[in-house]
Each structure stands twice: as C-alpha cells, then as structure tokens.
Amino acid sequence: MKNKTEFLRTFVLLFCLIFSLLLTYIVGALLYTRDSIESRQVGEMMNPDEYFNECSLLESECLDLGCKYYTQCGDGNYDICRIYDCGDTFGVFTKNTDGKQEESKRKKPDLNAVAAKKKDCAGTMEVLSQECVEGKEQIKVKIATQGECKIGGFAVIFEGSGAESNDFTASGDNIYTITALSCGTVSQIVPATDDGISLELQSVKGF
C-alpha cells in the first residue's frame, strides 16, 4: 500500500511538472508571436527582397505617375512602393505613411487586352467643378471616350504631398464626383479602368 501511494505521488508530481513546462512553452510562444506582430506594426521593417526572393526588382521607388507600374501600388499615401517581376504576377510591397506594411502578388494584365481597352478608353476629361468641403477636396469631372469604358477609380495628385486617398461616385452621363480625404492644390487627376489601367485622357478644362 505504501509503495502504491508513493507511486501515485510521484506520478502526480511528474504530471504537474510536465503540465507546467508545457503551459510555459505555449504562453511563451504566444507572447513571442504577439510581440513580433506588434513590433512589425509599429515600424519594424521587413525585407521585401527576401520575401520576393524568387522575383526580380522592377521599381524600387514607385511613388508617382512617373512609374509605369504606379497603379499596382493601390490607393493611398505610401512612403515605399516596390514592384517585382514574379513571372506571371507582379510582386508588390508597400509601406504607407502610417507605417502599415503589405505584400501581395497580382496577376499581370494581358497586354493585348490592355491595348484594346486603352483604345476604347481614349478620349477627354473635363473638370466641371472643384471645392474644399469640410476638409475634403470634391472634384466633379466629365469623361468622354470613343468606346465603352468602365471607370474604376482615380488617382488625385496634390502638389507637395503626392497621391491622396479618395473615393468617387458616378452620377450618370459620364459624370463622376471624386472626394479626396484632404484639401490642397491638385496638380493632376488620372482616371483608371475597373481593372486598374491608367488612362491618359486629353484635358478639356482645368488640369
């Protein structure tokens, strides 16, 4: 009976020890993961070249319309936008002005389809009005194209600060109201198709 009691006591002690070690390991792993995520969110820079190590770098600073891959960066204010050639896809790494980092791969467009769409979307853009309303720039434009062309977005470029985030509404008759999240001196407005192809429209008035 005594031996059985000692065996049970030893077994319980070993079980408690193993359970404590396992619990310590799990908690430590969770804390490490959380700290790693938080440190990256508050500014720890990942290495995009390592993330896209199977790709070749196309553009290291794709931050304005001078970069032909600019629309791949997306809508927003970026300190960093790097574009990679990954075969059938583009690799895109961005870091916005709030420090948020994102990486993604996007399928390359069909060049023949792009050329056809640009031909259909050739035309003019007229600025009908522009005003600052409650700290947001509101711009109304009218677009006329020679073929069917579905507009999917606009890049609004401000002097001194570059592209600003915006959204838009279509009110019919090819008229669009663009609302940027801040006011300022707009130097350029660039429409894009619904699949992100930038359009070079002739300006009728304004820009």
- What is the pLDDT, as a whole number, of residue 38? 42
Quote the pLDDT of residue 78. 85
54: pLDDT strictly greater than 70: yes
Pick the closest to residue 45 from 115, 97, 116, 95 (CA basis).
Answer: 95
**2-11: string of b/e by CB count within 10 Å (b at 16+)?**
eeeeeeeeee
pLDDT, the chain, mean: 82
User: Quick one: pLDDT at residue 58?
Assistant: 95
Q: pTM of whole model > 0.85? A: no
Distance CA 207, CA 168 (A): 18
What are residue 26's phi and psi, to 5 degrees?
Answer: -65, -45
Residue 111: in which H helix or E strand, if any?
helix 111-120
